[in-house]
Structures are given as C-alpha cells and as structure tokens.
Structure 1
Amino acid sequence: MKHTITALTLLLSLAVPAQAPASAAAVKEKWLGKRTLDLTWYSANVGTKVSARLLLPRGWKKSARRTWPVVYAFQGGRDDYTSWTRETDIAKVAAPYGVIVVMPSGGENGSYTDWWNDGKGGTPKWETFHTGELPKLMGRYRAGARRAVLGVSSGGQGAMAYAARHPRMYRYAASFSGSTHLTMDGMQTFLTTVNLLGSGLDAFKIFGVPGRDDANWRAHDPYLLASKLRGTGLYISSGTTGFNGPHTPPGGIWRLTQLSEILIGQMNISFAARLDALGIPVTRHIYGNGWHAWPEWTQELHTAWPLMMRSLGAERGTP
C-alpha cells in the first residue's frame, strides 16, 4: 500500500497545473532603464516573494496588440535573478533582436523542481512557478507562445528538464554546465551533498533520498527523458577538468570546488551520447579545460544565442 501511494503521488507530481498569476495590483514594477524592468510579487507556489528581470525589445509597449518571442534565462544555485545582467552582456546580445528576455528567481539552491518533501509535495513548487505561473504573468507583458529557455549550472538542468517534461513548450533549450544526467552513478550523492553543504537546507526534501525515492529522481532526469526532447532545438556545453581555461580571468584564483566540472562534464558527455543514440540533433561544446563559472558561460551564450533566435524566428533590427 505504501508503494502504491508513493507511485500515485509521483504521477500526480508530473502533471504541473497552470496556476493563476499574481493580481496586477500585487506586482511591483521598477524600471531600471528604458528597456529593463524588474518585477516583484508574492508567489503562493514558491511560498515567498519572487522577482523577474525583463529585457524588452525596441518598440515594446505593454498595450501593444502584438506579442514577442520570449527567452527564459535561469540562474544557477546560490545566485539570484540579477545574475545574467550582472555577470554577462546578455542585454547587449539581445538588444538587436525583437525578443523579450525573462530572468526569474530560481531559488538559492537552484533545484528547478516542485520539492518532493518526503512525497508530501507542497512549497516550494519551482517547476509550477516557472512553467505555469510565470508564463501566464508574462502574457501581460506581451510575451508570446514562441519560447526558448537557457540556464547555467542547476539552471541548465532546469532548462533541459522543463523542455523534456513539457514537450513543445519551448522551441529551443540550452544548458551551460548543467546537470543533465541526475541518476548517473554517483551523481545523486554529489548533487545532494552540494545542496547540503552549500545552503544548509534539508537537501533530501528536493528530489528525495537516493535509493528510496529514485522514481522521483528518474522523473526529472534529462537523460532518461531525452526522447521527449525530439523536435526541440538543443545546445549543451561544459568543461571536463575544472582547470584554468582560455576564458579564465587574469589573476583568477582557482578553487577546489571547480573540480565539480569534471562530474558535470561526465553527465553532459553521457547525455549527448543518449541523444545521439536516439537520433535527436544536439549542438554540443564539451571543451575540456574551463571553470564552472560565468566567463565560460558568457562565451557559450554568444555561441548559442543566434541558434535560439533562428528557432524563434526573432527579427533582427537596430539595437
């Protein structure tokens, strides 16, 4: 009976219902420039206040009758929604295109899932927030149905998992140093330990206890869900050593934690091989030396961006 209940709970967790967005009065807007808008509101799905930074295309108006393609850009763990504009030139990269960029909160631990919570569900429901609540709210800001998604580190895992768990929601998905094979030997222990040590949270509540709750881990593993990515444009990249690479900043101090890129590289090599076996096209850049850090991811952004724009049919004009 216990196993039956657990299985039923898992099946229910796979269906992510569309959630009503925050009321218009509850969303606080703050303009940071002519084309940069920050939004903050309370999300019942997450159980706390959340934010999103929007980069808006030339000619955008909230009252416009038309919509624009949208790119969702996910943060990594122990970061926030400002990371993409703080660490990269994404605003400059996006400016020439008729596209909206949405950079939402992703949580300190960056888990990109509705937390398992010992099979009881409940908050935080990050997947429901990102794939249900957020797109509905973005509709008010003229975001259309042509979507792409990208992310770094755990945000890359989120991009690939969401694209697989919600087929046809995104035309393109890109992952930079993302965890793309969660159940590969040793990776559940690695990922759980990262969250245990990094945030002080009960990391077993995220995907569950390895072994006991493997069904839930498997249900969120891009590798095992790879067949559902057919028809979605894909880009994956990662290093394999964690050592200094061509984009390491002068004077950068190497830390032992960079060795995590070795394990992430193994996951991405495995994930790419799985896609190849299924005959699913993927653009990959497995580059050997390089940190688990923004200098590498910025370069990947520059490479992947034109591919995403092509898939979205995003118009290029004057910045």
Structure 2
Amino acid sequence: MTAVQTVRNRLLPILTALLLTLVPAAPTLAAAAPEALAGAAAQGGPRGDAEVVGVEQVGERLVDLSVRSPALGGRTVPVRLLTPDGWDARERGRNWPTLWLLHGCCGDYTSWTSATDVEDTDDLRNVLVVMPEAGWNGWYSDWWNFGAGGDPAWETFHTDELRRLLESDWGASSNRAVAGLSMGGQGALMYAARHRGMFRAAAAYSGAAHPLLNDESVNRIMGFFAGQGDDPRRVWGDPVDQRAIWQAHDPYYLAKKLKSTPVYLSCGDGTAGPLDPPGARDALEADFNRQNEALADELKRVGAKRVITNLYGPGTHRWAYWERELHASLPMLLDALKVR
C-alpha cells in the first residue's frame, strides 16, 4: 500500500479549526462608492469579462473593489488595493509595479491589512499592493469538481480575469511579484510556477510547499479541503486516482518551473519561538517545515538560480512571524520589481 492510498481507507480529519483564529472577520463592503471613485466602478471589459461593480475607499491608501467574476459563476467578490503615493483611479496611462499578497486558509482579502503593518510600510509606498479574495479554503485553484470544473475557479479569476482588469483600468503594470502565507504561500509558488513569467519573484511564509510529502501532509490538506462541509475531492480529486492533478498543484513537483524565478521560503519548526507563549506547540507548522525543507532541496537539485531559505527553527503558525518574514523578503521582492 502506497503512502497516499491509506487516505481511501479512513475518514479524513477536518483540521481547518487550526487556523480559525488566525485572522479577524471581514467587514462588509459599503453599497456606494465615494464620489472620487464612483465613475470608476462601472469599468469593465466586454460581456463575459470580470467587471468592477462597486468601489469603496476604506483608508487613506486602501481601496476595496467589488468584482463580478465569470470564473466564480458570476459571483461578486472583494479585492483590496493598497495604493502607491500619487495613484489616482481616474488617471490613465500610468502603471505601477505590483505586489500580490495572498491570504491563508480561513482568512480573506482583509487579512494582511488587519493583522500586519503592511499599510504603514514605507518600502511599499511606490508599489500597488493587490490583496484578492481567494475563498475561505479556495486553495488558489480551479476546482476539479469531479471532472466538471466550473465554480470556483480561483486561479482563472486571479491570473486571467483580475490581472487583466487591474492592468487595463486600475494602474497595475505587468511588472509583478507575489507573496503569501500558509495556503497563500502555496498559491504564490503555484502561480509563479504554473504561469511562468507572470511573476518576477515569489515568497512563501509557512507555505504548504509539498502536500504529497507523506500521509500526514495529505490528510491535513484534505481536512482543509473539507472545510465548510465540502467534499475534499472537489478541489484536486482523489490523491490516488487524480494524482496527476495533485502533482500539478504541488510546488515540489513544479520546482523545475521555478528555476529562473527568485524564491523566498520561510517556516518555523512548530516549537515555541521568540514570538510565542512558553510551551507552544504546532503540528501544522512542523509539517509545513518538513515540506519546505523538501522543496528547498528539490530547488537546489534542479539548479534553481536564486533561492533564499529562512527555516528559522522555533516558531509556530502565527501572524507575528509572517509579518516579520514579509519585511525580511521585501528586499528580494522589490529588487525583482526594480523599485529599490
């Protein structure tokens, strides 16, 4: 019996509760856009394209877009922008280097601004930061849905619909980098590998870097897939029967496609670190640490040109570490964007 075949023979644990406390609840978007942005809310492409149907200024530099997406079955989802100095939604012809920040499981598009100091980071005042909604447990994937595809298609929404919309109407350039935590760390690595050339650098903080590593890793991610009552096979299928789909979304098996992309990997080992209460233990972070070690070794084996690893030992699955690691990785990300 192979490592993953045991998945068929026992009930997969639902582990999403591990992350429920990581991010605060999201506020509801206001129905009306402020006057300065109201005209921009109607912007969108021809029928069938994603379109912005609402805009709200929620901070001095924060703008929330409500985007109706065909890839998500016509649903409207929010996207948060942290805008650079001098940005104006009404201005055309000026485009900004763009950093995509991806949230983790059980989080949402507000996570980065709610839980970190990203809004006050001076190094990001010349960059358009895109923080898209990706579903409570969407996994940055076009779901298999037992071979039927369709809603949700998060990867298509982000890398096609939203990308084109932001670059046509909202000041984003094709000069992009991507970073994310946990589920979003996996998403950052997947997007950079599966859409080669789309992102000039990728950073993953406590990311699910090799879901097929062993039984524990497979069971854990299937538990996340089952969040909110979903059948876990909807996302990538069965880990045995649809193994090719799993491998196509596993950064370890995509390592060759990351050879020319600067990559930053960081993770703790699940024991109490300097930003934890005494005696803290975290099996999730320990698993992800092993996954990141495996990916780092595989990137080295395939000859990746630039990989920075900070597998920092003691530390759990907490925002305090991800905020720290964002700052540690910014020199690499901004160098790739040529804004330093």
For the aligned pair, the TM-score class normalised by the smaller chain equals 0.7 to 0.9
Give the letter for the 2:70 counterpart. Answer: A
2:100 to 38, 47, 72: 72
Indicate conservation of the 8 Å contact 1:78/1:110, yes or no.
Answer: no
Structure 1, residues 251-279: CA drift from partner, whole Å, max 9, x if none? Answer: x894x6x2111111110000000011112
Q: Match of 1:311?
A: 336
Secondary structure at the counterpart of residue 225 of structure 1: helix
**Residue 170 (structure 1) shift:** 0.2
Q: CA deviation at 1:94?
A: 5.0
Q: Which amino acid aligns with 1:313?
A: K
Letter in 1 for 2:235: I
Where do 1:108-147 residues align within 5 Å?
Answer: 108-139=136-167, 140-147=169-176
Cα distance in structure 1, aligned partners of 2:186 and 2:122: 22
In structure 1, distance between residues paired with 2:92 and 2:60: 16
For residues 294 and 123 of structure 2, what CA distance do their matches in structure 1 show? 35
Deviation at residue 232 of structure 1 after TM alignment? 1.1
8 Å CA contact 1:20–1:136 kept in 2: the answer is no
TM-score normalised by length of structure 2: 0.81
CA distance in 1, matches of 2:244, 2:124: 44
Deviates more, 1:219-228 or 1:89-98: 89-98
SS of the residue 1:147 aligns to: strand
What is the CA–CA distance in structure 2 between the aligned matches of 1:42 and 1:212, rounded to whole Å? 34
**1:45 aligns to what SS in structure 2?**
helix
Q: Which runs of 4+ in 1 moved over 4 A?
A: none
Q: Tell me the residue number matched to 1:194.
A: 224
Query: What is the 5 A alignment of 1:39-188?
Result: 39-47=65-73, 48-62=75-89, 63-93=91-121, 97-139=125-167, 140-186=169-215, 187-188=217-218
Residue segments in structure 1 that go unaligned for 5+ positions in a row? 1-18
Structure-2 separation of matches of 1:302 and 1:277: 28
Provide, for residues 223-266 of structure 1, a one-character-per-residue CA deviation record: whole Å limited to 9, x for no partner.
111111122111011112x2221122x6x894x6x211111111
* Pick aligned residue for 1:264 from 260, 265, 288: 288
Give SS of 2:68's match.
Answer: strand
**Partner-residue secondary structure (3-state), 1:223:** helix
Structure 2: how far apart are the matches of 1:118 and 1:163?
26
How does 1:232-311 map onto structure 2 within 5 Å? 232-240=261-269, 242-248=270-276, 254=280, 258-280=282-304, 281-311=306-336
In 1: Cα distance, 2:240 partner to 2:180 partner: 28
Asked whether the 8 Å contact 2:106–2:137 carries over to 1, the reply is: yes
Query: What is the TM-score with the length of structure 1 in the denominator?
Result: 0.86
For residues 106 and 309 of structure 1, what CA distance do their matches in structure 2 show? Answer: 24
2:37 aligned residue: none
User: Do the aligned residues in 1 keep the contact of 2:49 with 2:70 (CA within 8 Å)?
Assistant: no
Q: Would you say the 8 A contact 2:50–2:162 is kept in 1?
A: no
**Unpaired stretches in structure 2, ≥5 consecutive residues:** 1-46
The residue type equivalent to 1:226 in the other structure is A
Bigger Cα displacement from structure 2, 180-189 vs 103-112: 180-189
C-alpha displacement of 1:181: 1.0
Deviations 1:15-36 (A, max 9, x none): xxxx96433xx42100013311
How much has 1:189 moved relative to structure 2? 2.2
Out of 100-109 and 42-51, give the one that drifted further: 42-51
- Count of matched residue positions in the alignment of Structure 1 and Structure 2: 289
Residues in 2 aligned to 1:54 and 1:117: alpha-carbon distance in whole angstroms: 30
Instruction: Give, as a single letter, the amino acid of the residue that structure 2 aligns with 1:166.
Output: H
Superposed CA RMSD in Å reads 1.8
Same amino acid, percent of matched pairs: 40
The code of the aligned residue for 2:76 comes to: K
1:180 to partner: Cα distance: 1.0
In structure 2, C-alpha distance between the alignment counterparts of 1:168 and 1:52, rounded to whole Å? 23
Deviations 1:147-205 (A, max 9, x none): 00011000000000111001010001000011111221222222102332x43211110
C-alpha deviation, 1:39, in angstroms = 0.6
Which stretch shows the higher mean deviation, 297-306 or 61-70? 61-70
* d(CA) in 2 for partners of 1:253, 1:43: 45
